[in-house]
Chain A
Amino acid sequence: NAGVTQTPKFQVLKTGQSMTLQCAQDMNHNSMYWYRQDPGMGLRLIYYSASEGTTDKGEVPNGYNVSRLNKREFSLRLESAAPSQTSVYFCASSALGGQGNYGYTFGSGTRLTVV
């Protein structure tokens, strides 16, 4: 039982390059999320998908796009990477929008550096 799987684990991009971060969950969760984590800033929500077929902006959506490919997969795309997007990115999923006694299940993260 893998839970939430993120790829890649590490990535270095040059300014202006594009890339897609992949996330897949095998827990049959309806909701999926992308967060970024920066020192002293906690976890900030980029985009989320409450259920298959829907996506919504979070707190810091600028410079990102997402695709909820199916119930299992939720990808995050950086079209033109900027140094300000250097961060650790976490994907998470939940059964009931995060409610209940299980909360979110997080992936192990992608450490992205933009030079």
Chain B
Amino acid sequence: GQQVMQIPQYQHVQEGEDFTTYCNSSTTLSNIQWYKQRPGGHPVFLIQLVKSGEVKKQKRLTFQFGEAKKNSSLHITATQTTDVGTYFCAGSGTYKYIFGTGTRLKVLA
């Protein structure tokens, strides 16, 4: 079946450093979504990417969808302590999404 993998599993950064998480699907996706889950919380939808090569920005967050629509990345510039949490990508299926394993980000002040 469809699989979605993320790397790294964990990342510790100093506040102000950049952070990137990568997402890879075993199948071509029609679209991909990103979610953030704060510690002890539930996943919250961030963004959806649909087009091959698409790049979207939300303040310090930059999302990319690969040309082959099988991979994606999330880059955070100059991390802040409020960025702490786990970031999930989710690849589209029929009426459902398959979530990646997540990248847990810790930001050291």
Contact = CB atoms under 8 A, between A and B. Distances in A.
B85 interface: no
Nearest to A30: B95
B73 to A, nearest CB: 17
Contacts of A108: 41-42
Interface of A: 31, 33, 35, 40-45, 48, 50, 56, 58-59, 90, 97-109
B96 A58 contact: yes
Interface of B: 1, 6, 9, 31, 33, 35, 41-45, 47-48, 88, 90, 92, 94-102
Contacts, number: 66
B95 A50 contact: yes
Given A31-B95, A59-B1, A98-B33, A42 B44 contact: no
